[in-house]
Structure 1
Amino acid sequence: MSGRWWFVAAGLLCGTVCAQSVQAPALKAGDSWVYVDTVESGPQGWSRKNEIVTVERIEGDSVLIANKQDGSSQPAVEHLVGLDWSRSRDVNGKQLVVNRPLAFPLAQGKKWRVDYTEANPNRQHTSETFGSEYTVVGWEDVQVPAGAFKALKIEAQGQWSAVVAPSINSDSRGHVDADGAVSLSQSQITRPHTASGRMYKAFWYVPEQKRFVKSVEEYYDSKGVRSSRYTEELQSSKLAG
């Protein structure tokens, strides 16, 4: 077959396969992936490590996952995720989905949302609200350390808002002059107010890998400045038969 006709045939094959919906993967105990994790915080913060993700067992509609830093002597951290790789946690006393990168079956144009509000998540905020809409964009080529893949790209656009708790910050200083010791203090009062920003997420899912081969999560502050970015890229995988 000539090179020209090979590309035509490949294009027709992709057109047929890529038009079909993608079903949930058949995960098995022992499936394992190694990712290059990069964390960027602020204008200068940067770190990178390799993380191993392994399926320990399947429990109905949940999967027990073990996460371990490659080369670390520390034990793996085990946690449950959904069959769609969604993450849930306690929010106001209830288990709620806080991240759902995939919603099977996947098909171009499909949309879904993740919304939740958490009361008193930390000392700085009396409440936090997150809302994201996920969209299956379509198939595209992606290059990662593990190689080149034809992946189904999912994007999420979202917003966050937080009610900042009131606080008082005091600064005390002292000095000694000819008349004796003098103490000075200054207090700064922070009144309750609402702050907001935006989020962006992208996932490149490859059915043959049973998981996304790349993911990017970005968070922006109230001024539109990126405060953090989290990137995962597949380095290698070992999938059970």
Structure 2
Amino acid sequence: MKHYVLIICSALMAASCQTTGSSTSANSASVPAVQVEAFAPPTAGTKYILSIDERGSKKTETWTVLDDSTPHNGVPTLRTSDGANIMVINRNTGNWMMSLDDSGKPLISASPDLGQYAWPLHVGKRWTAQTSYTDHSRGRSWDNITTYYRVAGYEDVTVPAGTFKAFRIDHTPGQSNATTGTIWFAPALGIVVKRRYERTVDHYRGYTQIDTELAEYHPG
């Protein structure tokens, strides 16, 4: 199983972006300067190359958005493939649902999904996601996994593919969770351009740290 399949969860995050001015009036609520209103899936044929570094062990992966929206549990999906694995994402929200091998057999899955996005997105937003997780290949499963998410910023991020404006979203562990990390989602590109993922020593697969950056992006 490729490492990125375990952590990408939502690498394909396209959305429509609405920008409003911040309010300074004491009599009105503050309005987010940048707000992503809703998930809008990238088109079939979009390709992107990821540069992945797991504690000094480096590799690249090339992913392609498939022309396949076959529902999963009644939910329309967005599917991407690296030639060996298929990622299945909730087409309505962009949240990761499961990863399959090239024959369609489940490798890992989350129910109902990972919940790593809650629309609309803006700096300062927080939410809690609860999910069940199954590692089918290892015969392991957990219920009521809790993850806390926070949109910590909207900033320039530089990766091999270029410099992009991106939301920085941090996640920290709650109940039955042993992972932490940060993603940088670039609305103009419709993809996560950078990610840091860490498993703690309490994780069933042991400690690791994986850094992923966008090396190339080719829209469909």
Relative to the length of structure 2, the TM-score reads: 0.65
Partner residue, 2:87: 79
Shift of 1:105: 2.0
Partner residue, 1:21: 35
CA distance in 2, matches of 1:218, 1:137: 18
Percent identical among aligned pairs is 22
Q: Pick the aligned partner of 1:144 from 159, 178, 186.
A: 159
2:217 matches 1:207: no
- Whose helix proportion is higher, 1 or 2? 1
Partner residue, 2:169: 154
Contact 2:79 2:88 in 1 (8 A): yes
Relative to the length of structure 1, the TM-score reads: 0.60
Contact 1:87 1:97 in 2 (8 A): no
Contact 1:86 1:101 in 2 (8 A): yes
Partner residue, 1:49: 59
Q: Displaced runs of 4+ in structure 1, greater than 6 A?
A: none
Change in Cα spacing, 1:107 to 1:120, as seen in structure 2 (3 Å) is closer
Aligned length: 175
Partner residue, 2:97: 88
2:145 matches 1:135: no
CA RMSD of aligned residues (A): 3.4
Partner residue, 2:122: 107
Change in Cα spacing, 1:236 to 1:112, as seen in structure 2 (3 Å) is same
Contact 2:186 2:192 in 1 (8 A): yes
Contact 2:110 2:131 in 1 (8 A): no
Residue type at the aligned position of 2:88: L
